[in-house]
Structure 1
């Protein structure tokens, strides 16, 4: 893997998703009905193959990600379909976007190759702002941000092998350090009300105000894991020895299978969900949608690109992702999908 992407922290979630959800044979883009793909133009100086990820939005028509421009991984936003190069913090060569809140603040992590410095940042109309490590801890490792700007991640302690979960509330000057809920060892997402989706050894857990609620099994499948949480709803998958099943948990105790899918990736505030439909006989799949639990059709092929998938569902009803003629583990060109009835 090119060192531009060689990060075990920020990119881990995306890299794992890409490996598990590698796009299969291209869908035929027949007719004009359904989820139509729009390839977004890259800024001047960008790698023509894209080499980036479109992963975030403000929910009001701005889409943001990280793409190689002038040999640096830089933040790029699209407004009105046109790219706006936002750059990279001074002294850094790598800036990976992790999320964007409804006010348009972008959240991510920046890396300096020369010093190894790894810093969380926010980006707003006034520029980049680096977060200071709290006393007694290392730099905050950002994993997700909700619509109001609460960020969840991990903090390294004095023990190199130990990190603790933490929330950096919107507008706060210091994080709130938490303990790991029983059976968990990772942080996946944070809901708008502050509930946190923790990754568990055998099942994931929704935690809020000290109360843990494990995700329930679904008939025929166990090892339930969530990819995202919104308005109390979790989407993800459960598995057995042979296959997996896309699942929507209306509450942690109430799983519902998502018909036709084996993995759910993300959802928005209205319940629009992105996922993958399995291709029999392969480990690959084709991107599909659900409206709540109702199948919403497949996502059209972007131009002639053979691999493509959404990473994020915007509150404006748009799927946000990438496409490539190779594997997506090193990114691709930016794509959005909108429904054309």
Structure 2
């Protein structure tokens, strides 16, 4: 769901398919079906960026530079809609979108050096959340189907940060201080479970109860995304390998052909990136799995680099394509499964 940079010299900190596709016979499942790309049009004045969310009904949203301003752009019916920057702010980053079309991310005020979590309704209304007492900035991480919002709070002076959970029903936010089992908040499941990475492992937090993901024989194994209790991420397996936990108590399994798994939808469709053992970046181009069966993600013509950063609930993938570093983003791309 979330945008992540993967440069080799930096260590990683990081829609439903039809039932017929997921339940096909074993011999058919062995066939690598292809997800084929469509490049979406950029709005006038826009440059590189990436798609980071979808409502699973045909809308895709991301962060793009438009007329020298970094801001949110959504594609509706295949056409871009620039969502604007509220007065008093200079930059808006989109990190996630739920099935109601509500976008969550981070809004920045350069004069005060503040960053706050916002939600952006489908009708264009921004709601900016207050920074909890004792913290200076909060980044928006994720939003789930019912509208719970996850943020990551920090202090300018350093020290202990915290995950912040705003529940959809209202009330004061839940503050979860950084600790050995709650080091870095990664994602938010539909039932309110928060996925944390904790150095070389991961935990799940819900209503104050912590569960550790099942042990792995590898040196480390961490999760980057969660949906319906299924966690996907990466593990050490000789080299780095994409990995999946079907629940907190089940053994980790590797995902063939992948170096990391980054996004998962409600049907278990997963997107990630292939390993590049000798490349300048840790991970290469996009790959997809139906459960644990790998599929093929084809790159758009004319682009050497492409990444699927989002798996929408309608079974499409979304991300970007470019010819430089994946850190720079590129043109917006969606992929559809086509026989």
2:247 aligned with 1:257: no
Equivalent in the alignment of 1:26: none
Q: Does the aligned pair in 1 maintain the 2:161–2:178 contact within 8 Å?
A: no
CA RMSD of aligned residues (A): 2.3
Aligned position for 2:24 = none
Question: Which whole-Å CA distance do the structure 1 matches of 2:310 and 2:11 have between them?
Answer: 16
| DSSP-derived class of the 1:14 partner | coil
What residue in structure 1 maps to residue 214 of structure 2? Answer: 216
2:285 corresponding residue in structure 1 = 286
Deviates most, 92-101 or 144-153 = 144-153
Aligned to 2:239: 243
TM-score, with length taken from structure 1 = 0.84
Q: For residues 248 and 303 of structure 1, what CA distance do their matches in structure 2 show?
A: 31
What is the Cα deviation at residue 201 of structure 1?
A: 1.9
1:333 is matched with which residue? 331
Change (3 A) 1:169 1:36: same
How far did 1:106 drift? 1.0
Gaps of 5+ in 2: 13-32
Of 105-114 and 306-315, more deviation after overlay is shown by 105-114
Higher mean displacement: 150-159 or 165-174:
150-159
Q: Does the C-alpha gap of structure 1 residues 181 and 20 become closer, same or farther in structure 2, counting only changes over 3 Å?
A: closer
Between 1:316-325 and 1:155-164, the stretch displaced more is 155-164
- What is the aligned partner in structure 1 of residue 143 from structure 2? 145
Evaluate the alpha carbon distance shift between residue 169 and residue 175 of structure 1 in structure 2; reply closer, same or farther with a 3 A threshold. Answer: same
How many residues are aligned here? 313
Asked whether the 8 Å contact 1:181–1:212 carries over to 2, the reply is no
Following TM superposition, by how much is the alpha carbon of 1:279 offset from its aligned partner in structure 2, in angstroms? 4.6
Query: 1:104-140: CA deviations, max 9, x gaps?
Result: 1111111122332322211111422211234454443
Deviation string 1:270-325 (CA, Å, 9 cap, x unpaired) is: 00000223356444433111111112x22111120111101111101111101111
Instruction: Output the CA distance in 2 between the equivalents of 1:85 and 1:56.
Output: 15
**Which structure 2 residues correspond to residues 21-100 of structure 1 after superposition, within 5 A?**
34-47=34-47, 51-100=48-97
- Using the alignment, how far apart are the partners of 2:124 and 2:80 within structure 1? 18
Unaligned 5+ segments in structure 1 are 1-10, 22-32
Aligned CA distance change for structure 1 residues 20 and 202 (closer, same or farther; 3 Å)? closer
CA distance in structure 2 between the partners assigned to 1:289 and 1:184 by the alignment:
29
2-side partners of 1:100 and 1:176: how far apart? 21
Residue pair 1:216, 1:224 contacting (<8 A) in 2 also: no
Deviations 1:23-79 (CA, angstroms, capped at 9, x unpaired): xxxxxxxxxx611000000011212xxx21211011111000111111101111001
CA 1:100 to 1:339, structure 2 compared with 1: closer, same or farther past 3 Å? same
Partner of residue 14 from structure 1, selected from 1, 4, 25: 4
Query: 1: distance between equivalents of 2:190 and 2:205?
Result: 13
The equivalent of 1:312 in structure 2 is 310
How much has 1:180 moved relative to structure 2?
A: 4.1
Cα distance in 2 for residues equivalent to 1:149 and 1:309: 27
CA distance in 2: counterparts of 1:69 and 1:180, whole angstroms: 35
What is the CA–CA distance in structure 1 between the aligned matches of 2:287 and 2:133, rounded to whole Å?
45
Shift of 1:81: 0.6
Which of these residues, 105, 119, 122, is aligned with residue 122 of structure 1? Answer: 119
CA 141–205 in structure 1, closer or farther in 2 if over 3 Å, else same: same
Which one of 182, 187, 190 corresponds to residue 189 of structure 1? 187
Match of 1:15, SS?
A: coil
Contact 1:307 1:325 in 2 (8 A): yes
More deviation in 226-235 or 178-187?
Answer: 178-187
